[in-house]
Structure 1
């Protein structure tokens, strides 16, 4: 939990008793559904097929999305939901045939591929298409058809071939979009950026209740159903919450404009969970039912490939994406395999418990995968999209400081193993992309965090939230303290927005984009600061 999330605690406290009671009333059938293995693609097909021509209302209310680009493929996603704010989304309890098309032009005069797929009720009528045979590093357009209904058109782009010598690429980094805290205005601006790909670094949704007025959105022209005004616990809860978020037009615009590469943090399940340990210390067997439901709903609602489909309460989300010889992206999962937070979580002085060398944020298997991948990398830039702040972050000057036990500061041995692995692998140009904290940071990653004069091992671009934390401020109340206590912190801003990062052969440039408000609609976008780091000489300097 960040220092900017006290309001989340208040919401959670109000819902805790009801949430616990609802969790314990999860039926055996719901638990079996969450852990089921006899699903489509596993040798068992759903028996009934419905006629898509009988769908009377627009089923594409949640838009379209694409993601995980490869040189010859990209995932295409949609979900059929004529009535998104009710259980079942207005769809029959049967599979429905969906047709898909990929084209070279937005008018679909020249098709690059087409086909049919089944939208299964077991997956809440979501569709994940993995077309092959596409050209590398090329823009494509795509759409879906169900009966007489045609989806909005999406624009996507494949990755360059692994051996390609590309001059540059530009990515977006986003995170933390609490619906109840404000409008997704930043996404409308992100949709208009010229980007190759967007990385979502976690907290795509929040488990907390959303009032009839939409929380801070304070709707006067609509009323949300009461089923949203409770904490998400069951598979149906999570599915409905994704429907609420994905019905947002600004989020839809961003997904339709760019391919996304996604990873989760905590709120996709529950605040600050660690592996099978819940925030409220439920018995692991109980919590894993909830985690299985949350993981399944996450996969259903994201443009993810089949290897990322959960098996019960587990899902292999960490993965590697290449962009020619320019960049290798190693996408981490720092939530599913971590040790429990030291000292009961929160902010605490470092000590023997947090320093225990056995503690891990990534798990041993993912850690080895990361370092082995660095040893084999031939990329100019090695980029690490992940969730929580990597660099040291003290909350006071002098020796009486605390650090976040939920971030890498709470797992210093794990961080040291990663930095040592990067060093042994010869990684010269390390860039870490981070979300979680609802603020912008620009940070030099010190090789020895105890010595401010030590060399830089890389740089870290921390993106603020899309909406979480409400409007925020350019200089939060602790700005002076943080800047004094952390000399490797080159920038700190508390507004909402996103970061764009441009990589070329010589530099990594981060542009910190902010909006003035999210509690009202239509705020303009501005660049609050820009920094560059030179290849071979890591360290952030004003652009």
Structure 2
């Protein structure tokens, strides 16, 4: 871990990268002190991590790549600024070029390139690629969002999360690419901060090689992004992204980690920078500054859907009732008075206000909260027999650890009048379908209205609890209507003006790169009727 001097250096670097990130995100070139031409390739292919796109607007999309000659050896790439060319076309053969330009891959940003391609037509597909010297990247397919006034007939949306490298193949991403979605939403744990760099699904995975420095986080992303199936999912469609804890450290909250490390601010700053360097993000001002990065963003898909992408990590209060350490635990409210403190927050006051404004002004048919973890109450004790949620036992890292903040969110959803709220979640490595109400122990009624319908996706690879225990959770918690924890995969949504259909897509075997997949459950929500149809 960095000493105090290293911590200050990292924080200064994070502040400096705000300006660099602004240049890179705009696709601008800055005059580097040293530059390199095509000879910098040294005979090695520079696009080993593929390409990606994201943050779609009606007239713009961000395209991304990172120049790296050896994914497991960053020093193989010359530490100089590299001139990269890019093209976007209306066809996959690049016969009709609609935009092109040059950008500088800066070593300060791990030679990542973010180009915000503007002036595009709404609701159409494009193809893009990058060039360095004589090398040409893979071709990515992307699309713009519909025009604000348009009501599209359908949006095909894939939702995924939690892809620990060591616990399986990325067959789920191969199937996401094959589904040809319009958009992919990834809701957290894109990387895990620990694990061996060379082994994939070893017999006994142990916590090893944990990332603490910027170089170590960069190496972890390079490892993950070297996977061909993950690259294929990025090449198939634009992505919108939310982060969770493992992009930094397990169960961190704000500026506190499990270790109560005095240098955690520097570690988090390094992790945030590496996240930006490896994702197709358009950062709102001020970008990366003082070790912080605004991730909550809003995307409209015409009048069909508004995505409220939330950040449940950066601004939250620390987990309640963990004296002498950080991280989470399972507690009973009657033994942990702090759990019910109304001042505790999951999103932070500013983000809560931002969400309230976005819901109030939404004219979308569907309001989709893309966020990290299960929102429905999930007691680990049989509440139905006790009749009082205070007697339950709850995991404090999820929304159950922030009940007052969850109630404020429910109140905001109800007061806003926003149409058809859907909550999309990840983190818990389990498929759940749930109906959200302020009082989870009472049926829906005028005094206890249905707030939203929640769909929580399982993990791409990360393991979970036995299915028998998950079924107990479903049986004990009235809001949970379905739960399946023994399968890995993703969610596939068919969103139309009149209804939304959600398929839980489950792999036969996550350890098999050639695994088949099947829909193990399907749910529907009708326009104007909250809850499962």
Aligned residues: 507
Match of 2:343 in 1: 358
The question of 1:396 aligning with 2:388 is answered no
Match of 2:271 in 1: 294
Out of 515, 525, 530, the position equivalent to 1:533 is 525
Q: CA deviation at 1:217?
A: 8.3
**Counterparts of 1:454-465 in structure 2 under 5 Å?**
454-465=448-459
Do structure 1's residue 412 and structure 2's residue 398 form an aligned pair? no
Determine if contact 1:35/1:289 at 8 Å carries over to the other structure. Answer: no
Q: 8 Å contact 1:288–1:313 — kept in the other structure? A: yes
Q: Following the alignment from structure 2 to structure 1, what is the Cα–Cα distance between the partners of residues 291 and 283?
A: 16
Q: What residue is the counterpart of 2:169 in the other structure?
A: 183
Q: Which runs of 5+ in 1 are unaligned?
A: 1-20, 220-227
- Is 1:261 the counterpart of 2:261? The answer is no
Partner of 2:325: none
Partner of 2:478, secondary structure, is: coil
SS of equivalent to 1:205: coil
After TM superposition, the structure 1 = structure 2 runs for residues 503-514 of structure 1, keeping only pairs within 5 Å, are: 503-514=495-506
**Which of the numbers 145, 150, 173 marks the counterpart of 2:136?**
150
Which 4+ residue blocks in structure 1 deviate beyond 6 angstroms? 22-25, 41-44
Cα 1:23–1:528 change in 2 (3 A) is farther
Q: Confirm whether residue 369 of structure 1 aligns to residue 351 of structure 2.
A: no
Q: 1:263–1:38: structure 2 CA closer, same or farther, 3 Å change rule? A: closer
| Mapped partners of 2:3, 2:441: distance in 1 | 44
Secondary structure of the residue aligned to 2:315 is coil
Which region of structure 1 is more displaced relative to structure 2, 257-266 or 305-314?
305-314
Moved more, 398-407 or 314-323: 398-407
CA deviation digits over 1:276-306, x for unaligned, max 9? Answer: 11111112xx111000000000000000014
Structure-2 change in CA distance of 1:466 and 1:334 (3 Å): same
Superposition RMSD in Å? 2.1
For 1:479-538, what per-residue CA distance to the aligned partner results, in whole angstroms no more than 9, with x for missing partners? 331121112212111210000112111112110000022223211010010000111111
Deviation at 1:427, TM superposition (A): 2.1
Q: Distance in 1 between matches of 2:188 and 2:7?
A: 29
Aligned to 1:278: 257
Pair 1:338-2:316 in alignment: yes
SS in 1 for 2:321: helix
User: Using the alignment, how far apart are the partners of 1:30 and 1:165 within structure 2?
Assistant: 46
39, 49, 65: which is aligned to 1:78?
65
CA distance in 1, matches of 2:229, 2:310: 26
**Normalization by structure 1: what TM-score?**
0.89
User: What is the 5 A alignment of 1:233-248?
Assistant: 233-248=212-227
Q: Distance in 2 between matches of 1:447 and 1:38?
A: 41
**How big is the shift at 1:211?**
5.2
From 461, 469, 472, give the equivalent of 1:478.
469
1:498 aligns with 2:490: yes
Tell me, yes or no, if the aligned pair for 1:326 and 1:379 is still in contact at 8 Å: yes
The CA distance in 2 between the partners of 1:434 and 1:40, in whole Å, is 32
CA separation of 1:28 and 1:519: change in aligned 2, threshold 3 A: same
**Could you tell me how far 1:157 is from its partner in structure 2?**
0.8
1:318 correspondence with 2:317: no
Q: 1:207 to 1:367 in 2, by over 3 A?
A: same
Q: Please tell me whether the aligned partners of residues 177 and 468 of structure 1 are also in contact (alpha carbons under 8 angstroms).
A: yes
- Whole-Å Cα distance in 2 between the matches of residues 307 and 479 of structure 1? 39
Q: Return 25-34 or 120-129, whichever deviates more.
A: 25-34
Q: How big is the shift at 1:40?
A: 2.9
Per-residue CA deviation, residues 359-417 of structure 1 (Å, 9 max, x unaligned), is: 00000000000011111111111100000111111112133531121111111111111
CA distance in 1: counterparts of 2:511 and 2:520, whole angstroms: 19
For 1:347, the equivalent position in structure 2 comes to: 330
The partner residue of 2:47 within 39, 48, 60 is: 60
**37 and 205 in structure 1: CA distance in 2 versus 1, 3 angstrom threshold:** closer
SS in 2 for 1:321: strand
Q: Secondary structure at the match of 1:456?
A: coil
Deviations 1:78-135 (A, max 9, x none): 00001110133x2212111111011111110111111111000010000001111111
Say which SS state the counterpart of residue 117 (structure 2) adopts: coil
TM-score, reference length from structure 2: 0.91
